[in-house]
Amino acid sequence: MKKLVFPFAAIVLIVASAFTLIKSQDWKISDNYSIKFDGGDPSGEFKGLKGTVNFDPDDLASSRFDVSIDVATINTGNGMKNTHAKSAMWFDAEKYPTIKFTSASITKSDAGYEAKGILDMHGVQKEITIPFTFNNNVFTGSFQINRLDYNINTAEPKHGAADFKVDLSVPVSQ
Amino acid sequence: MFKKIFFHGLVASVLASIAAIIYNHIYFFATEADFSKVLNPASIIALNVIICLLAVFIYWPLLTWLKRKGEIVFNFMFSIISFACVIIPISITLPLDIQFPELFPGLAVPMVFFPAIAWYTIKPLFTLTQQVT
């Protein structure tokens, strides 16, 4: 009987590891997310977040974000500013309807995690690092962005803010 | 004289409030845009009362000081200020949880004129010109 203990334990381990592999790391984005930008004037938020969120804190190497937001959903709280923001002078929502972020690597940091990847906005692709945390199935992050780096209204660098703080809060479920 | 002007302002504020509340309901049914966080019956009444009572405190000294011309000056002032106030609903930044902010001026811009319209509408009921002259 004792001889069977180790083979049995091995079988249990193999079966358990199979379930570990089955466990999904794909997260579904919940509706109550928020993507807020703050440049003093203007400030606001975006909606229309969609894409793939594949994140496993224990397997960062295979974790990946491939998400986009709909530029036309910009809301500054003022109708006139919204129309202005979507126009060719600023985001040019007709020509560049989405803002995309695709991660290349996700690493652990002191405060949480860091996602390095390409932010594709207004036809310009630039590498950025987004620091974030993941607690209670909510991704929370904050980073700075300069609109001039993405050729957004470069003709008027002093019209409104150039530097924006972006705050993300994305609850997810499996 | 002040008592009459005061009641004039008060009645004008009631009329303007009623008109604004009715328009608010019509606008909601037409567009389904909910701006009740910013404009609801309580805030509409408060705004109209404040505006009309402010008008009272401008109209009364003007009438006392300029006699007949006071009314002309006041009417011009009230109309010009009402027109200038159009910029407020156009430029205001609403809370981000309010959907369709581009529809807000369509609701609030006409309301800006309601106190002046109500004031002028009931003016014949509170004619003071004869008393003043």
Per-window interface: B 55-114 vs A, CB < 8 A: 90-96, 98, 100-105
Angle between helices B41-66 and B2-31 (to 10 degrees): 150
Q: Which residues of B touch A44 (CB under 8 A)?
A: 96
Structure-token pair, residue A134:
């993941």
Q: Is residue B44's pLDDT more than 60? A: yes
pLDDT of residue B133: 47
Mutation site, B96, B97, B100, interface A, largest A CB count within 10 A? B96
pLDDT in tens, A29-64: 999 999 999 988 889 999 999 999 999 999 999 999
Reported as a pLDDT band with limits 50, 70 and 90, residue B126 is confident
pLDDT of residue A22: 44
Per-window interface: B 29-48 vs A, CB < 8 A: none
CB distance A83–B102 less than 8 Å?
Answer: yes
Average pLDDT, chain A: 87
What is d(CA A110, CA B88) in angstroms, rounded to the nearest whole number? 47
Q: Is residue A17's pLDDT more than 80? A: no
Q: Which residues of B touch A169 (CB under 8 A)?
A: none
Mutation site, A33, A73, A75, interface B, largest B CB count within 10 A? A75
pLDDT of residue B130: 46
Query: What's the average model confidence in pLDDT over A107-127?
Result: 94
CB distance B104–A83 less than 8 Å?
Answer: no
Query: What's the average model confidence in pLDDT over A104-121?
Result: 93
pLDDT of residue B77: 95
Q: How far is A117 from chain B (nearest CA, A)?
A: 29
Per-window interface: A 19-78 vs B, CB < 8 A: 36, 44-45, 75-78
Q: Which residues of A touch B93 (CB under 8 A)?
A: 76-78, 81
Cβ-contact A28, A55 below 8 angstroms: no
Half-sphere exposure of B25 (CA within 13 A, CB side): 6
Cβ-contact A91, A75 below 8 angstroms: no
Instruction: Considering only the beta carbons, identify the residue of B90, B94, B105 that sits closest to A77.
Output: B94
What is d(CA A38, CA A84) in angstroms, rounded to the nearest whole number? 17
Residue type, B96: L
Q: Please tell me which residue of chain B has the smallest CA distance to A78.
A: B93
Residue type, A79: G
Cβ-contact A124, A151 below 8 angstroms: yes
Model ipTM over 0.90:
no
Judge if the upstream peptide bond of residue A42 is cis by omega within 30 degrees of 0: yes
Q: How far is B79 from chain A (nearest CA, A)?
A: 25
Query: What's the average model confidence in pLDDT over B78-88?
Result: 96
Q: Which residues of A touch B100 (CB under 8 A)?
A: 79
Q: Which residues of B touch A45 (CB under 8 A)?
A: 96
Residue among A96, A41, A105 at smallest CA distance from A68: A96
Cβ-contact A55, A134 below 8 angstroms: yes
Q: What percent of chain B has pLDDT over 90?
A: 80
